Amino acid sequence: MKHFLFSASCVCLLFITLGLAGVSPALAQSSLSLAIDQKAETLEGQVVAWRRDFHQHPELGNQEVRTAAIVAGHLRSLGMEVTEKVAVTGVVGILKGGKPGPTVALRADMDALPVTERVDVPFRSTQTAMYNGQEVGVSHACGHDSHVAILMGVAETLASIRGELSGTVKFIFQPAEEGMDDLDTWGAKQMVEEGVMKDVDAIFGLHINSQTPVGTIKYRSGPAMAAVDNLEIKVIGKQAHGAYPWSSVDPIVTASQIVLGLQTVVSRSVNVTEIPAIVTIGSMHGGVRHNIIPEDVEMIGTIRTYSAAQQELVHRRIFEIAAGIAQSAGAQAEVNIRKMYPVTYNDPSLTAKMLPTLERVTGPGRLVEHELITGAEDFSFYQQAKPGLFVFLGGMPADGDPLKAPAHHTPDFFLDESGLILGVRALSHLAVDFLQSGI
């Protein structure tokens, strides 16, 4: 970070010179890029401090009151128009540039997880909260604390050059990315429903990754992360004594056959040479006693797909297989599929347009195209409204092993904070380059 040769005063003088002399847009853009990098460098310590504070004080989805208050106060201190309590606890800040132009949105998610942290750091979370009727440990086991800190750094960086910005930047600090099972809407979905994408021309977001080396950014054009749906199947049979199974319609046997039958959805119905899919049953419950065949069995699971057509195919086959197997046994199968997050789809045109920016920010060999990810992200709701690009930021120590680094959503999740400043630079440059180039 020490290779920049101009001081801040030199950059300001250069802006004045460019304005007076009418120098080429390319040179003006170069000076603006330099100003961004210099400002970001000065904020590195503050971004780390913010991240540690949020890490030590995590809050579950739709409970991010403290986090939101700190964010709102920071945005107001930068002279932004700020709206609070969007989608329960969300915060939206508007930074208007000194020149006319399009509007770009940048998003960070704020919520933590019901996971007890085991990492031995001075800022380790010791917070607890009530979740599903029980007291649980709470921690930022997915890295959202770093997302908030990064976007706060971006806000301060871009506010420092607002006079040179051609358009408007909308900062979206979002609650409940991890979802709220007891609600019909949550997180990004509710933010969109409440109008945060109005007048936005494009949106950018990132997610830090504990198994990607610091200094690296990963991207993918088109489908990047899966659509996720929740699956529930209730098999209804006829209860009987376990000693007289012929008197029953056994829902346990029938449910077992349905689980096996569902394995053919991916292996025999999906063209896996084009794009994969996943159907997983994660839980099965039925019966209360060793010698009673129960009346019903309930199963829950998850579905992952990468296109609307594939999603429709997988859903249809699940209904057909469950109903057909149940009918053959004289039972009934009630199938309920709840759509959760859509496909995280990076607009190909926008992705191609912004790749030079990412290549410039990361440097040679550090921008990597990633494979399809079977995890899901509610950033996809913003992308349904407007073109968007979602990338992954390295958070693993440079000498780490991706196969051994603790995964997200686990008690031992760990981030190398030296990677945060690249996130500030990446989002700042993406926003400025998009605004400067127009739609």
Q: What share of the chain is helix, strand, coil (3-state, %, to 5)?
A: 40, 30, 35
193 given a catalytic annotation: no
Of 164, 177, 377, 417, the catalytic one is 417
Q: Report the distance separating Cα 318 and Cα 217, nearest Å.
A: 37
Start-to-end CA span in the chain (Å): 31
Of 306, 341, 345, 382, the catalytic one is 341
Full DSSP string of 36-78: HHHHHHHTHHHHHHHHHHHHHS---TT--HHHHHHHHHHHHHT
Q: Is 385 exposed, middle or buried (0-12, 13-18, 19+ CB in 10 A)?
A: middle
- Closest by alpha carbon to 112, among 137, 90, 76? 137
Handedness of CA 120, 125, 127, 129 (dihedral sign): negative
> With contact defined as beta carbons under 8 Å apart, do 33 and 27 qualify?
no
Q: What is the helix (H) or strand (E) element at residue 236, kind and residue range? A: strand 227-236
User: Which residue is listed with tokens 């990315």?
Assistant: 177
> With contact defined as beta carbons under 8 Å apart, do 204 and 429 qualify?
no
For the beta carbon of residue 421, count every other beta carbon within 10 angstroms: 21
Q: What is the helix (H) or strand (E) element at residue 307, kind and residue range? A: none
> With contact defined as beta carbons under 8 Å apart, do 392 and 206 qualify?
yes
Handedness of CA 141, 359, 159, 92 (dihedral sign): negative
Full DSSP string of 3-27: -----HHHHHHHHHHHHHHT--HHH
117 given a catalytic annotation: no
Task: For residue 176, give both structure tokens.
Answer: 């409940």
Running DSSP on this structure, what letter comes out for residue 83? Answer: E
Q: Is 91 exposed, middle or buried (0-12, 13-18, 19+ CB in 10 A)?
A: buried
Buried b (16+ CB within 10 A) or exposed e, 139-174: bbbbbbbbbbbbbbbbbbbbbbbbebbbbbbbbbbb
Which residues have a catalytic role annotated?
341, 417
